[in-house]
Structure 1
Amino acid sequence: MWKDPEIQAMAKSLGVPIALALFGALVLLGLVRPLLKGRNTGPGAQLNAIEAEALDRPALPAPVKELSPTQEQERLDQARHLAKQNPIAVANIVKTWINGEG
């Protein structure tokens, strides 16, 4: 098949444009692209420019004194305490929930 003169002629006619395209891609990716990347400033430069333009923001108010825990938080703490003291009882409760008995 490759000995056929028509196929050889077609390969020669297609080979030159393909070789030029590959060479152009190599030049573009190997030389031009790194030069363009070098021109860009570092990634922090844009952020610094944006922060420099930002208006002064008002300060946050002082933290409010610690709030008392809600009922839900207290119940969760009690459940955690029970689980630490008696894990077998908690395991049995969970087992009944899974089995659909409770």
Structure 2
Amino acid sequence: MKTNHDKLIRDKIPQILIQKNIQAAVRTLTDEEFVNYVKKKVVEEAKEVQQAESPKEILQECADLTEVLECLMNTHNLSWNDIAQARSEKNSIRGAFTKKLLLINTE
């Protein structure tokens, strides 16, 4: 039975599928397609972080999310230093999340 996935996969997945005798259709994305699929993957991985419960699951899902974020950063020639600087600037203006504040409503 054929299952459609239409999602970005890690580089070694095709070989793993072959080892498991699973037939798969895979193609290489264009640069523009890659950026779009990486953005979709960021959302997918963020949802998996949200669903994770144990510290080990959270660790694994954060590692996956970080991997995908790094791919997205690379497509835009951004570094972790760039991210740290933007984060610091945003924290100076809007604060961080250390106070655990929840906005209930506004009028």
Is TM-score (shorter-chain normalized) higher than 0.5? no
TM-score (norm 1): 0.24
More helix by share: 1
TM-score (norm 2): 0.23
Report which of the two structures shows the higher radius of gyration computed on alpha carbons: 1
State the structure with bigger RCO (CA 8 A, min sep 6), 1 or 2: 2
